[in-house]
Amino acid sequence: MPDQTPEAPDTKRKGGPRQGRSEVVFHTYPKLIFAWPIIVAGFLLGALSLISWVDQEVLAWIWAVTLVVTFLAVGIDQNRNATAIWIAIVAVLWLLGIWLRDAKGITVFGDLFRFFADLDPVYPRPLSFAISIFITVPYAIIFAWVHCKDKWRFTQNAFEHRTWGKVDWSAARTTETVRCSYPDLLEAVLCLAGDLVIYDASGSKVIRRICHVPLLPLVRRRIAGTLPPTTVTDLPFEEAQIDGGAHDAATGA
């Protein structure tokens, strides 16, 4: 007689019940983490410059733009609102230049473009290669240092920060809100990086802000799996939010 015992649900099957993560471990980094485009550009563009048909001037401008973007990402915090203001200013100046050209015969942007075009820069392969090597050394040291000194561990019961294997800060998992904030647009573009902000149960008091977390959307998704059944709410660019809540609210039941 065939066995009529119902099969246990397959937790590995796509669409079936899944086990939540027991913990999430991630690290925070200093701002040097955003210098990776300079390292990559030095090695990649250096290799391309050896090809005869590649335009050296184009490589020079790519390297220059990479330096500027990286310096801005490391040096300043440019949030969404500030970025929108700068875009609006550039758009107004561009329209003003078009008006001056058509109405007054003054070619402001044309003269500016010709000025940069006449510079005729040549890609400095030895210099860019040396800079990439010089930055790679502290970059590797920081990676090793961070994995020993700035380790964060989120579980279903607690939030912990570990330094040299010891817990130097912890909070019980009574807080119900973790917000993901993106204070710098360039950091978000270069490394998907942002801040994790831990709030108390009321959601009004900040307990801890964890800055410069790379790949924050992935970390956010993993953290949501460690919390009790949750409602995950997407907020505007400045903040995304992970709230503890009822399973019914999450599933729409």
For 48-61, the pLDDT digits (tens) are 988 888 888 889 98
Whether residue 1 has pLDDT greater than 70: no
Which pLDDT band holds residue 101 (cuts at 50, 70, 90)? low
pLDDT above 90: residue 66: yes
pLDDT range class, residue 82, cuts 50, 70, 90:
confident
pLDDT at 172 over 80: no
User: In the chain, what is the straight-line distance between the N-terminal and C-terminal CA atoms, in Å?
Assistant: 40
- Measured on CA atoms in the order 219, 225, 229, 231, is the torsion positive or negative? positive
Q: What is residue 77's predicted lDDT score, i.e. its pLDDT?
A: 77
**Angstrom distance (rounded) from CA 230 to CA 211:** 23
- The bridge status of strand 194-199 relative to strand 239-244 is unpaired
What is the rounded CA–CA span in Å between residue 1 and residue 22?
A: 41
Q: What is the mean pLDDT of residues 162-186?
A: 79
Eight-state DSSP code of residue 13: S
User: 222, 18 in Cβ contact below 8 A?
Assistant: no
| Contact (Cβ atoms closer than 8 angstroms) between residue 26 and residue 112 | no
Looking at residue 175, its pLDDT comes to: 57
Mean pLDDT over all residues of the chain? 75
- Percent of the chain with pLDDT strictly greater than 70: 72
Give pLDDT, residue 36: 93
CA dihedral (219, 223, 226, 231) positive or negative:
negative
What tokens were used for 12?
A: 């590995």
Strands 239-244 vs 230-233: parallel, antiparallel or unpaired: antiparallel
Question: What are the φ and ψ backbone dihedral angles of 109, each rounded to 5 degrees?
Answer: -70, -30
Tokens 């390297």 locate to 63
Cβ atoms of 213 and 195 within 8 Å: the answer is yes
**Region of poorest pLDDT, from 78-82, 176-180, 184-188:** 78-82
User: Nearest CA to 249 among 226, 233, 225?
Assistant: 233
Strands (E), 40-157: 151-155
Residues 74/188/30/183 CA torsion (nearest 10 deg): 80
> 194 pLDDT exceeds 90?
no
Predicted pLDDT of residue 135: 92
- In this model, does residue 17 exceed pLDDT 60? no
177, 203 Cβ separation under 8 angstroms: yes
User: With a threshold of 0.75, does the pTM exceed it?
Assistant: no
Between 134 and 116, residue with greater pLDDT:
134
The mean pLDDT of 14-34, rounded to a whole number, is: 71
User: What does the pLDDT read at residue 231?
Assistant: 36
Q: What are the helix and strand counts (H, E) for the chain?
A: 8, 9
